[in-house]
Structure 1
Amino acid sequence: MTTRADSLPPGAHLPINRCNLPASILGSLSYQAHPVPLRLDGVEELHRSLFAALDALPDPGERARLFMTHMAAAFSLEHPEEAGHSDTAHDRVRATYLRLLRGWAFDPDGQEGAVFKGWVESRFGLLPRHHGGPIRDFSGDTYRRYLEARSRGLYGSNALEAQLDLLYAYCQVELARQRPGQTHLTLYRGVNRVADFEVLQEQSRNRRVVLLNSLNSFTPERERAGEFGDFILEVQVPLPKVIFYHRLLPGVLRGEDEFVVLGGVAEVECATH
Structure 2
Amino acid sequence: MTSPSGKDETSRYVLPKIARIPINRCNLSADIIGSLTFQEHPTNIHIDGVDSLYKELFQRLDLLRSKEERSQLFLDYVDVMFSLNNLEIAGYNADKKHRKKATFLKMARGWSFDPDGREAAVLKGWAQSRFGLVPRFHISRIETPDCEAYLKYQEMRSAGIYNTNAVDGQLDLLFSFSQYELKRRYKDKTHITLYRGVNNINQYELIDKTDKRERVILLNNLNSFTDNKDRAEEFGDYILQADIPITKIIFFHNLLPTMLNGESEYVALGGLCKVKQIW
Q: TM-score, normalised by structure 2?
A: 0.94
- Identical counterparts, % of pairs: 47
Show the counterpart of 1:213: 220
Q: Report the more deviating stretch, 245-254 or 190-199.
A: 245-254
Report matched runs for 1:136-155 at 5 Å: 136-155=143-162
Amino acid corresponding to residue 20 of structure 1 in structure 2? N
Distance of aligned partners of 1:190 and 1:221 in 2 relative to their CA distance in 1, 3 Å threshold: same
Report matched runs for 1:221-236 at 5 Å: 221-236=228-243
Aligned-partner Cα distance in 1 for 2:63–2:97: 38
Contact between 1:168 and 1:244, CA under 8 Å: does it hold in 2? yes
Show the counterpart of 2:59: 52
Q: Which runs of 4+ in 1 moved over 4 A?
A: 88-91
Contact between 1:5 and 1:209, CA under 8 Å: does it hold in 2? no
Which of the numbers 208, 211, 229 marks the counterpart of 1:201? 208
1:192 paired with 2:196, answer: no
Amino acid corresponding to residue 124 of structure 2 in structure 1? K
Unaligned runs of 5+ in 2: 1-10
Aligned-partner Cα distance in 1 for 2:273–2:95: 43
Which of the numbers 232, 256, 266 marks the counterpart of 2:263? 256
Contact between 2:15 and 2:35, CA under 8 Å: does it hold in 1? yes
Q: Report the more deviating stretch, 248-257 or 237-246.
A: 248-257
Aligned-partner Cα distance in 2 for 1:79–1:255: 31
The alpha carbon displacement at 1:253 in A equals: 4.3
Counterpart secondary structure, 2:271: strand
Aligned-partner Cα distance in 2 for 1:115–1:44: 23
Aligned-partner Cα distance in 2 for 1:88–1:31: 49
Show the counterpart of 1:109: 116
Aligned-partner Cα distance in 1 for 2:110–2:95: 21
Counterpart secondary structure, 1:229: coil
Amino acid corresponding to residue 43 of structure 1 in structure 2? V
Contact between 1:93 and 1:157, CA under 8 Å: does it hold in 2? yes
Distance of aligned partners of 1:105 and 1:89 in 2 relative to their CA distance in 1, 3 Å threshold: farther
Aligned-partner Cα distance in 2 for 1:44–1:68: 17
1:179 paired with 2:186, answer: yes
Amino acid corresponding to residue 127 of structure 2 in structure 1? V
Show the counterpart of 1:240: 247
Distance of aligned partners of 1:136 and 1:5 in 2 relative to their CA distance in 1, 3 Å threshold: farther
The alpha carbon displacement at 1:137 in A equals: 1.8
Amino acid corresponding to residue 48 of structure 1 in structure 2? K
Contact between 2:252 and 2:260, CA under 8 Å: does it hold in 1? no
1:124 paired with 2:131, answer: yes
Contact between 2:196 and 2:241, CA under 8 Å: does it hold in 1? yes
The alpha carbon displacement at 1:89 in A equals: 7.9
Contact between 2:194 and 2:243, CA under 8 Å: does it hold in 1? yes
Show the counterpart of 1:267: 274
1:27 paired with 2:34, answer: yes
Unaligned runs of 5+ in 1: none
Amino acid corresponding to residue 254 of structure 1 in structure 2? N
Aligned-partner Cα distance in 2 for 1:230–1:171: 30
Aligned-partner Cα distance in 2 for 1:102–1:89: 25
Aligned-partner Cα distance in 2 for 1:74–1:131: 32
Show the counterpart of 2:69: 62
Counterpart secondary structure, 1:38: coil
Aligned-partner Cα distance in 1 for 2:105–2:32: 30
Contact between 1:80 and 1:88, CA under 8 Å: does it hold in 2? no
Contact between 1:206 and 1:270, CA under 8 Å: does it hold in 2? yes
The alpha carbon displacement at 1:230 in A equals: 1.0
Show the counterpart of 1:41: 48
